[in-house]
Structures are given as C-alpha cells and as structure tokens.
Amino acid sequence: MEVIIKDLIGIESKYEEDLKGKKGAIQRHTDAKGGEIGKEGENYVAAIDGNSLISTIDLTIQSIVEKYLEQACIDNVCTDGGNVVVMNPQTGDILAMATYPSYNLNDPYTAYTEELKENWETMVQEERTKSLQAVWRNKAIADTYEPGSVFKLITASAALEEGITDTDNTGEFSCTGGIEVAGVRIKCWRYYRPHGSESLRDALMNSCNPVFIGLGQKMGVQTYYKYLRQFGLLEKTGIDLFGEAKSIFLAENKAGPVELATISFGQRFEITPIELVTAVSSIANGGTKITPRVVKQIINGETGEVTDVPIKLGERVISEETSQKVLSMMESVVAERNRKECKSCRI
Ligand SMILES: [Zn+2]
C-alpha cells in the first residue's frame, strides 16, 4: 500500500490548510516584563485537530494495479518504468494511480531497485539524489510523453462530431500504405501490406495512420485545435495534486499540414497521462468535460461534519451520439481486432 501513502503526501501538501488544525494555548495576563499577574483571567485554549480527507483511491484496485504494473514493466523490460491511472469518467474520481518503479515511503532515501542496491555504495551523492528525485515524481501528472495511436480516439471523435465521416461506411477509406502531405510521404505502420478498403471502425481497429491523417486534413488546423482545446488538452487538468505538468503542442499558428498530420495519429507532441485519461473520460461519460480529483470528502476535525468535495463537470466536448459511436468502436478494437497483426499499436 506504499503508493497510497505516497499519493497521500501529494494530497497533504495540496490540502495543507484543511489538515493542519490549530495549536492549543494557555492565555494569561502578564506585566510589561512578562511576569505573571495572578491566575485571574487565565484561559486554556484547546488544540483543534485538523480536518481529515477521504481519498478517492480504491485500495483494492490500487493494489491490483501496482501488482500488474510491476509485472508488465518487468516482462516488457520497460527501462523508463510505467504508470497506470484508473479514473471514474462520471465523477473524475481517481481510483488508482501507480508508478513503477516505486519506493518505500517509510525509507525514502535508500536504493529502490536491485540494480541500485548493488551500486549504491559506489555512487556519488549527486547520483543518488538524482535517482531518488526521479522515483519520487508522480509520473502520471508530472511527466509528459508522446501518446501514439491512442490519440486516434480524439481525431475520430472530432471527425464524427464535425459530421465528415461515420463509423461503418464500407469502403469510405482506402489505405495504400502511406499518404502524401505537403510533399512528404507519411507511411502507415503496415506500409508493406496496406490495409486497403476500410470503414472508420476498421481504420481504428487496424490503427491505420493514413485514415486519421486524412481526417485531420479535412478538418484543418483551426477546427482540430478547437477540439484539442475543448478536450482540455492544451491546459492542465486541474487535478487536486501539486506538480501537474502541461502538454507540449506546437502553437496553432505554427502548425502546418505536416504537423497536423502527425498530431492526428498521436505523434510529435507530448501530454501527461492524466491529460489523456481525462480527455478519454469525456468520450466515456457521454461527452462532458470532467476534472479529475483525489479527495472526495473532508471531515471537520472539531465537529466530525462531513463535507462532500463537489464533482467538477465542465462543458460539453462532443455530443452523446458521438460519444456512443466512439465507445462502440473502442469496444470493437479490443473485442474483434487480431492483436497479433499490429505490433506498433498502443490501443
Ligand atoms: Zn493502413
């Protein structure tokens, strides 16, 4: 359960005002030199306990996530480690948030992997500090990465919302292994055996790059960036934890056709895992923007009164209809696609 406690550290710094309480005191009258003038008027002020916070983290889900994240990172030799966020798309509640490798909260200054343990004695202090600081970061909110094919969900949502495509128009698209954009040929990952005739559902299941590049082109930079903004991808999510980083996108007025093409299938920009989970939550919850949170209730230390932290729902991002269409395609991706076929896909 160490990660839970670690997450709580982040919560503690964010909710310092709620948690700290008030010190007790004895008030008495003194003369100008600080000498006591009798016991009259002496007043005892009791200390007030700070408030308690009820976290959204579900201990069962968190421990399952930690176990399988560690196993997956070891099995797939993920040298940079990994992280998992589980979020309720209706409320924004973070049910689990785990980073691997992690560290022992009760012993945060010691080596946290077998490799580090072996070399710890010979490492200079600077190297030790650097490796410790790296593991203390909550990568799900503090680090950005290139999301890859999972971003095709955003492009598909925008294109459906704009009414320029539909899920099951047989033969609507044709993959020839690549597409020419402003004189640059961008390949499909399966350029050696092109996907041929596809519907949007087929294209998402095949993770076919040219289809999503084409949809991006049809929408243009202005419309595409409008959806990036609506999905909240150009700003921080506003999660109630310190240290949240922001996405790195090329400015709208600097993005040309080639840049738009690469963004459309998830490359050449960086977002945080929490930004992606939050954006996809809008697809999953019927189309509404939601703010993620790790605290759902505050218990008053004095009165025991429980206050609910309000759920922060934002504006509509896509219609209910578009949301249902994208969800149905997401289901097809896991239910129907031959997973062996695509080694590079991340959806
Ligand atoms: Zn293709």
Residue type, position 228, single letter:
L
Query: What residues contact 339, with CB distance under 8 A and at least 6 apart?
Result: none
CB 219 within 8 A of CB 263: no
The catalytic site residues sit at 149
Query: 143-165: buried (b, 16+ CB within 10 Å) or exposed (e) per residue?
Result: bbeebebebbbbbbbbbbbbeeb
CA 341 – ligand 1 centroid, Å: 12
pLDDT value of position 40: 67
Report the separation in Å between the CA atom of 248 and the middle of ligand 1, taken as the mean of its atom positions.
27
pLDDT of residue 4: 34
Q: What spacing in Å lies between the alpha carbon of 160 and ligand 1's midpoint?
A: 19
Nearest to 203 by CA among 180, 170, 161, 164: 170
Q: Are 211 and 173 in contact (CB under 8 A)?
A: yes
Structure tokens at 192: 């050696």
Q: Is 68 exposed, middle or buried (0-12, 13-18, 19+ CB in 10 A)?
A: middle
Residues 6+ apart with CB under 8 A from 127: none
For the chain, the first-to-last Cα distance in angstroms comes to 29
- Residue-level pLDDT at 278: 98
Q: Is 56 exposed, middle or buried (0-12, 13-18, 19+ CB in 10 A)?
A: buried
Answer whether the bond into residue 210 is a cis peptide, omega within 30°: no
The pLDDT assigned to 128 comes to 77
Question: Could you say which of 3.40.50.150, 3.40.30.10, 3.40.50.1010, 3.40.710.10 is the CATH number of the domain covering 148-286+314-341?
Answer: 3.40.710.10
How far is the CA of 165 from the CAs of 16, 18, 173, 213, 338, in angstroms? Answer: 49, 50, 10, 13, 24
Q: What is the DSSP pairing of strand 313-316 with strand 288-290? A: antiparallel
- For residue 233, how far is its CA from the centre of ligand 1 (angstroms)? 26
Rounded distance from Cα 188 to ligand 1 centre (Å): 5
pLDDT at 337: 59
In sequence order, what are the residues at sequence separation of 6 or more whose Cβ sits closer than 8 angstroms to the Cβ of residue 340? none
Element (H, E) at 82: strand 82-87
Confidence (pTM): 0.81
How many residues are present in the chain? 347
Q: What are the structure tokens assigned to 44, written together?
A: 């005892």
* DSSP assignment letter at 314: E
- Dist. CA 202 → ligand 1 center (Å): 10
Q: Under a CB-based contact definition with an 8 Å cutoff, are residues 218 and 188 in contact? A: no
Mean pLDDT per 10-residue segment, the chain (347 residues): 40 70 71 70 73 90 94 90 94 93 70 77 80 75 94 98 98 96 94 97 96 97 98 96 93 96 96 97 98 93 91 96 97 74 51
3 state SS of 322: helix
Instruction: Output the CA 173–ligand 1 centroid distance in Å.
Output: 10
Cα(155) to centroid(ligand 1), Å: 16
